[in-house]
Chain A
Amino acid sequence: SQQGEEDPQALSIQEGENATMNCSYKTSINNLQWYRQNSGRGLVHLILIRSNEREKHSGRLRVTLDTSKKSSSLLITASRAADTASYFCATDPLLSGGYNKLIFGAGTRLAVHP
């Protein structure tokens, strides 16, 4: 059951530019998380935002959450070639009972060119 959908599917930018990725979901959530995956590797957790939070920052990352629109955005500022990866949003549905049964979207493939 895919809950999150990322937009765009792919994004190509130059170093130094900002990258914005969006995520929409369908059901009420406990929290929403963003993960990064380098090609052929495991996922790495970036940031978690709870349903009662609207914005969160971590280094060059800024995440917003709009529960009324069931959407979130991830902004990477001053991007670097090393940011090239796929980025996934994952939701923890309210009815999951707190078991961290995250539901992942299909991801956004980000390419940052030197």
Chain B
Amino acid sequence: DGGITQSPKYLFRKEGQNVTLSCEQNLNHDAMYWYRQDPGQGLRLIYYSQIVNDFQKGDIAEGYSVSREKKESFPLTVTSAQKNPTAFYLCASSPGPYTGELFFGEGSRLTVL
């Protein structure tokens, strides 16, 4: 089955620690995205990548970092510089530019203790 796999589904972190969220897709999509969702709110774009070894900041990139070393993988690191990291993180992909629809993973819920 083709799709997007995010792991872990739940993650707890102590303040001051970095944490990496995994996102893997087997849809052969060129573009991948990370969104953050806070309770009762819409999604906000953190980072996106249109091609391997290239990525761009979204609207709320501060305190986050990404890499795109393989087409299938787009991990997100939430660093200690992110002041309010508790949120639901969603990874998405699309075949390429001008293709419209995003395909989403099931999300990772990060809680800072």
Contact = CB atoms under 8 A, between A and B. Distances in A.
Interface in A96-110: 97-107
B107 A42 contact: yes
Interface in B28-76: 31, 33, 35, 40-45, 48, 50, 56, 58-59
A45 interface: yes
B7 to A, nearest CB: 13
Contacts of B41: 106-107
Interface residues of A, number: 28
Contacts of B92: 43
Given A1-B59, A92-B100, A107-B41, 20 more contacts: A33-B100, A35-B104, A40-B109, A42-B4, A42-B6, A42-B104, A42-B106, A43-B43, A43-B92, A90-B43, A98-B98, A99-B31, A99-B48, A99-B56, A100-B94, A100-B100, A101-B58, A102-B45, A104-B35, A104-B43
Interface of B: 4, 6, 31, 33, 35, 40-45, 48, 50, 56, 58-59, 88, 90, 92, 94, 97-107, 109
30 contacts: A30-B98, A33-B101, A33-B102, A42-B90, A42-B104, A42-B105, A42-B106, A42-B107, A43-B43, A43-B104, A44-B104, A45-B101, A45-B103, A88-B43, A90-B43, A99-B97, A100-B31, A100-B33, A100-B98, A100-B99, A100-B102, A101-B33, A102-B45, A102-B102, A104-B35, A104-B43, A105-B42, A106-B41, A106-B42, A107-B42
